[in-house]
Amino acid sequence: MLINQIMKENVITLEEDATIKDAMQTIELRQIRHIPIVNKSNQLVGIISDRDIRDASPSIFHSTDHLEDFLKPLSSIMARNVITAHPLDFVAEASILFYEHHIGCLPIVQDNQLVGIITETDILHTLVQLMGAHQPSSHIEVKVENITGKLADIASIFKERKVPITSVLVYPYPDPQFKVLAFRVQTIDPRRIIREIEKSGYHVIWPKGPE
């Protein structure tokens, strides 16, 4: 999946000579957490977050002091070294940027122009959709040897029993000789297919049956 499939194109922006007060009002009115800062040519020059606004605002115990701070330009508080992505980058690559840099949003730039934005919420919603977790389904985890062909072997069991697979994830097991295959399948009662998997000699670790 590409970023241009999930990004918001109508980006709410401000210019760097706008004031902190302008940004506060925009964040409150639009119910957003980040505002890209652009120049008059719509080129990205910085970004601010609701946290930047809070840090730059007077304490609630001195809310009437230093009111001139609210009139400072955004250029005085914005982050300038902005991490960005391209519309044709993969969503998986964008997810790594969120993870590695602990950021809350990612402006999308093409030909030096701001063309979109994605947030950590967009990434989460996309992950849920890709996993099929938003649809009626069951989650089954199978422990297998960490060798080639095990995914195909388990998938063939689902195929033979005509149980459609919505998504598959592969993740490590504490013992590196094994791995875990996590299937989301289109059945509400997975007990029959679990029995078939275990009859084939595999260990289903979720859902756990009675001891």
- Phi and psi of 124, rounded to 5°? -65, -45
Range with the lowest mean pLDDT among 95-104, 124-133, 169-178, 191-200? 124-133
Beta strand 105-110 pairing with 113-119: antiparallel
Please state the rounded mean pLDDT for residues 103-118.
97
Structure tokens at 30: 């639009």
Are the C-beta atoms of 146 and 137 separated by less than 8 Å?
no
Phi, psi (rounded to 5 degrees) for 38: -125, 160
pTM of the predicted protein model: 0.76
- For residue range 134-193, what is the model confidence (pLDDT) as tens digits? 777 899 999 999 999 999 999 999 999 999 999 999 999 999 999 999 999 999 899 999
Q: How far is CA 171 from the centre of its chain?
A: 18
Q: Where do we find the tokens 């499939």?
A: 5
Q: Which residue has the tokens 């985890």?
A: 141
CA 11 to chain centre: 18
